[in-house]
């Protein structure tokens, strides 16, 4: 085609030169086309892919397994609103560029400990509204860049120690609507950069097992962290009350219980005590009766309820404050009386001095007052 466009009077040399150039351009064009076809990632069937943001959206398709042909360069993978119930450990293999993974609203009940092993660049993980009951402590070990983690609306009853070790970049963590009753402070110690923690809608038992976590929450709030309400479910006296509003005096008995438990292990076991005293054996004639060891149960000191101890402390503090206020009032009254007496004495002396000074205006005013009274 390029040869037909040459002028009729062109020389054979020009024609050969132009033909060679045309062949070179054709080869370059073919190579560019083949490279572009190979570089374009293939999109999984029925999924939506965005080549600019490198996002693969497979949400709401009723999938029961992760598509095997997800492009390796994918940065965002959306798998929410599907029917995923079990995932193999190699489900996200070779997706090292993945930064955001959303598995919300599925039926996942257990995750293999190495399922996120290749996701070294993961920054956001959404596992909201599944049926996860347990987590392996090494689940997030290979994702040190994780910033947002959502584990809300699951069946978690406890968190394994060491789950958050190495997650120094974590900013937000949601544990809402699970079955958590208490948490260990050591589990949250590595989260030095955490800014938002959601723990509401859990059946919290505000007892000694939650005391250390209360200390951590106070420290977390003090350094500017945001925390939603942690409402107590048990005991009944604290039901519906925010754990942060419970005074620390309520947990003073925890140390007493620890001391009792530690001392109980050092006690020498003795014969079991019985409330009904056994009948004494009849002494033999001519022999002195031997004293028998007492088998009566020792009376244990009754533990005062927390509310009683708190009320006693409140009464003592109120009494001290009232005493100080009363003393201040007495001092103020005495000062007022002294001041009033001094001012009255001053006015009396002032009135006595006015006639001696010969003030005609004062005498004139006195006469007016006397006439008005008459």
CA–CA dist 108, 294 (Å, integer): 62
The CATH fold assigned to 42-254 is 3.80.10
Q: Is the pLDDT of residue 296 over 60?
A: no
pLDDT at 160 over 80: yes
Q: Are 280 and 240 in contact (CB under 8 A)?
A: no
Give pLDDT, residue 277.
45
pLDDT of residue 105 exceeding 80: yes
Q: What is the CA radius of gyration of the chain?
A: 43
Question: When comparing pLDDT for 266 and 225, which is higher?
Answer: 225
pLDDT at 19 over 90: no
- Number of helices (H), then strands (E), belonging to the chain: the values are 6, 11
Instruction: Write the CA distances from 5 to 14, 21, 22, 29, integer angstroms.
Output: 12, 14, 12, 20
Lowest mean pLDDT among 55-59, 206-210, 292-296, 347-351: 292-296
Which range, 267-281, 283-297, 302-316, 322-336, has the best average confidence (pLDDT)? 322-336
CB-based contact 225:197 (threshold 8 Å): yes
Q: 198-219, pLDDT tens digit by residue?
A: 999 999 998 888 888 998 998 9
Average pLDDT over residues 219-234: 91
Query: What confidence category does residue 139 fall into, taking pLDDT thresholds of 50, 70 and 90?
Result: very high
Residue 219, pLDDT score: 92
Q: How confident is the model at residue 352 (pLDDT cuts 50, 70, 90)?
A: confident
Per-domain boundaries in the chain: 42-254
Mean pLDDT value across residues 287-300: 50
Query: Which pLDDT value is given to residue 288?
Result: 54
Q: Does residue 91 have a pLDDT over 80?
A: yes
pLDDT at 366: 53
pLDDT tens readout for residues 302-320: 444 444 455 667 778 888 9
Average pLDDT over residues 232-253: 82
The whole-angstrom separation of Cα 188 and Cα 219 is: 12
């Amino acid at each position: 085609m390029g040869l037909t466009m040459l002028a009729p009077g062109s020389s054979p040399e020009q024609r050969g030169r132009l033909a060679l150039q045309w062949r070179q351009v054709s080869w370059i064009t073919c190579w560019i086309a083949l490279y572009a076809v190979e570089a374009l990632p293939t999109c999984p069937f029925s999924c939506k892919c965005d080549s600019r943001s490198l996002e693969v959206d497979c949400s709401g398709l009723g999938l029961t397994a992760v598509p095997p042909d997800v492009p390796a360069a994918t940065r965002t993978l959306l798998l929410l609103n599907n029917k995923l119930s079990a995932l193999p450990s190699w489900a996200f293999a070779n997706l090292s560029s993945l930064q955001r993974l959303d598995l919300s609203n599925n039926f996942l009940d257990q995750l293999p400990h190495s399922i996120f092993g290749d996701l070294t660049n993961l920054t956001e993980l959404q596992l909201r509204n599944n049926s996860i009951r347990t987590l392996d402590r090494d689940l997030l070990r290979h994702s040190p860049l994780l910033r947002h983690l959502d584990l809300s609306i699951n069946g978690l009853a406890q968190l394994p120690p060491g789950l958050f070790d190495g997650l120094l970049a974590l900013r937000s963590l949601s544990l809402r609507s699970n079955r958590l009753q208490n948490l260990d402070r050591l589990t949250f110690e590595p989260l030095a950069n955490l800014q938002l923690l959601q723990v509401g809608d859990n059946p919290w038992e505000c007892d000694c097992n939650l005391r250390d976590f209360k200390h951590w929450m106070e420290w977390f709030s003090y350094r500017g962290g945001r925390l939603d309400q942690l409402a107590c479910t048990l005991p009944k006296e604290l039901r519906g009350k925010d754990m942060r509003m419970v005074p620390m005096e309520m947990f003073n008995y925890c140390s007493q219980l620890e001391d009792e438990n530690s001392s109980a292990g050092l006690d020498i076991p003795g014969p079991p005590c019985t409330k009904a005293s056994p009948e004494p054996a009849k002494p033999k004639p001519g022999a002195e009766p031997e004293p028998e060891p007492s088998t009566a149960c020792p009376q244990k000191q009754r533990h005062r309820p927390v509310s009683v101890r708190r009320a006693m402390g409140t009464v003592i503090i109120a009494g001290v404050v009232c005493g100080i206020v009363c003393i201040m009032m007495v001092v103020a009254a005495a000062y007022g009386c002294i001041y009033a007496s001094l001012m009255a004495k001053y006015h009396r002396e002032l009135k006595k001095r006015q006639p001696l000074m010969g003030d005609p205006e004062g005498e004139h005013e006195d006469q007016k007052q006397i006439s008005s009274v008459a």
